[in-house]
Amino acid sequence: MKPKLIFVTGATGFVGAEVARVLSDHLCYKVVALYRSESKREHFISVYPNLKKKIAWVQGSLECLTTLPKNIHTVIHAAADRNTIPSNTVENVMRSNVMGLSNLLKCSVRVQVKQFLYISSQSVYGHAKPPWCETDTVQPEGLYALTKYMGETLVQSYGDVLPYVIVRPSRVYGVGVFMRWHELISQYVSKVVRSDPLTLHGSGKQRIDLLHIEDLVAGIKKVLDQPFRNSTFNFGMGESYTIHELMNCISSVGQTKGYPASDIIVETETRPTGPKHLELSIEKAKKYLNWQPNVSLSKGVEMYFDAYSNITY
């Protein structure tokens, strides 16, 4: 059987790189990867030299695309500007997350792409009451969430001529070639490794839904293997953890790796930002995709500790 040609955007980002890496190692897919940074592409190849000839690389930006390679079966849009620092202007985020997507959709229709997979975000639900279902009314708050929702609306507007699947992952974590060292779990693991205390802001009762990158990629692969048209799926852990539970998990796993138990400093005057409870319902993905997460929180945290001791990039 001829392999499906898959066009992956954001291939030098955390999620896009892992999608490209996993799919390119399967005989039933051929990956074409869009990237901006040549240094990041070279870094990817230095870490995975066996994939150098398995991935066809295309350098460019979404905003400047004029066409896509011929015979693309599926586009997986993993590129996104997640930078919310004040110096990153609204125009920059809109250009990348909305205008770039609009251009990609036009190019996809032009070359008759069979399926468009848009990686959105749990952030579109905002302060709606969890656990969130795909049919719930979204309440996006903040620039990133708004652009993700606008992206969903754009994708849906092409549904008559471009079959789509929208994926809403919860907070994605895990080890990868472009892993997010600055995010919560990475920061806590780093503190345990350095024997620094863990700082808990507020009561620690804020709940988050965490999804390991391996489970997200497995879910995306399930979508590729199913004939779904114009559907939306949540991908999450299926449960949520308080920040305090997360801290205790990281400290406990650290002790199994030979690190001392971590002290926890509580700062009650500093209140955490964002919703108090983040949790997705994944019943639809379980039922129709036969997918469920397989990486437990403790196993995912253990991978971080292994990365600190073994990673060479």
Q: pTM for the complete prediction? A: 0.93
DSSP 67-131: ---TT--EEEE-------STTS-HHHHHIIIIIHHHHHHHHHHHTT-SEEEEE--GGGGTTSPSS
pLDDT computed for residue 200 by the predictor: 86
On whether the 4-173+211-236+280-293 domain is CATH 3.40.50.720, my answer is yes
SS (H, E, C) 244-277: HHHHHHHHHHHHHCCCCCCCEEEECCCCCCCCCE
Pick from 177-186, 198-207, 297-306 the range whose average pLDDT is largest: 297-306
Tokens of 48: 């995975």
Our CA angle for 76, 81, 87, nearest 5°, is 175
pLDDT of 192 above 90:
yes
Buried b (16+ CB within 10 A) or exposed e, 223-234: bbeeebeebbbb
Neighbours of 131 (CB within 10 A): 20
Say yes or no to pLDDT of 85 above 70. Answer: no
Give the pLDDT of residue 312.
46
Q: How much is the pLDDT for 84?
A: 56
pLDDT, position 272 = 61
Secondary structure letter of residue 224 according to DSSP: H
* Residues counted in the chain: 313
- Residue 117, token pair as written in the block: 């997979």
Q: How far apart are CA 80 and CA 62, in angstroms?
A: 10
Q: Which of 72-81, 101-110, 153-162, 177-186 has the lowest mean pLDDT?
A: 177-186
Confidence bin at 313 (pLDDT 50/70/90): very low
The pLDDT assigned to 183 comes to 83
Q: For 96-121, what is each residue's pLDDT tens digit?
A: 888 999 999 999 999 999 999 999 99
pLDDT digits (tens, 9 = 90+) for 15-50: 999 999 999 999 899 999 999 999 999 999 999 999
Closest CA to 119 of 21, 10, 35: 10
Alpha-carbon distance 103 to 188, whole Å?
A: 39
Q: Is residue 86's pLDDT more than 60?
A: no
In this predicted structure, the answer to whether residue 278 has a pLDDT above a threshold of 70 is yes
Q: Give the helix/strand (H/E) hosting 30.
A: strand 29-35
292 phi and psi angles, rounded to 5 deg? -155, 155
Residue % of the chain over a pLDDT of 70:
95
pLDDT given at position 269: 65
Peptide bond into 131 cis (omega under 30): yes
Q: Which of 63-77, 165-179, 199-213, 239-253 has the lowest mean pLDDT?
A: 199-213
